Amino acid sequence: MRALIQRVAQARVEIAGETVGEVGNGMLVLVCAMQGDGDEQAQLLARKTANLRIFESEPGKMNLSILKSGGGALVVSQFTLAADTSRGNRPGFSYAAPPDEGERLYELFAASLAEHGVPVETGRFGQEMQVHLVNDGPVTIWLDTAA
């Protein structure tokens, strides 16, 4: 599984003008399940995300995880993280998990992150969404369970 994590001062996701999830200080987590991913990858990614030390304990020192900083996570499905551009300019998405499995693993990731003690808000799988965020730092981190 893949995640693009952004430390945020605030973030929200809207569908048709309605806010369906939002957080203040915390992280926006864009998540993609890949072909061959299973429960183990979703749970590993959730654990890594919960313990990722990207929050400041003092100016210039990123020593705190979201668990220690008291922030929340906005988790949004993002199958385009599976983009393959090796054969031209139009991305292909054949490396993404099939939609049913992608949705199941997305939901498992969000539930596992919450089980670690992180307050979690979500978007809606497979929906057209508008994501608004204020990136704090900016801090943007790529996690991939295959790496």
- Predicted confidence at residue 65, as pLDDT, reads 97
The dihedrals phi and psi of 87, each to the nearest 5 degrees, come to -115, 35
Mean pLDDT of the chain: 96
Residue 56 buriedness (CB in 10 A; 0-12 / 13-18 / 19+): middle
Query: In whole angstroms, what is the distance from residue 17 CA to residue 54 CA?
Result: 31
- Predicted confidence at residue 60, as pLDDT, reads 86
Note the residue count of the chain.
Answer: 147
Residues 16-47 have pLDDT tens digits of: 999 999 999 999 999 999 999 999 999 999 99
Asked if 25 and 71 count as a contact pair (C-beta separation under 8 A), the reply is yes
**Residue 63 binned pLDDT confidence (cut-offs 50, 70, 90):** very high
3-class state of residue 24 by DSSP: coil
Task: Answer yes or no: is pLDDT of 147 > 80.
Answer: no
Active site residues: 78-80
* DSSP 8-state secondary structure symbol assigned to residue 81: G
- Beta pairing partners, 76: 30
| The pair of three-digit structure tokens given for residue 32, joined into one six-digit string | 């993609």
Give the pLDDT mean for 52-81: 95
Give the domain 2-144 fold.
D-tyrosyl-trna(Tyr) Deacylase; Chain: A; (3.50.80)
Report pTM. Answer: 0.95
Q: Give the contacts of 71 (CB within 8 A, at least 6 positions apart).
A: 23, 24, 25, 26, 27, 55, 119
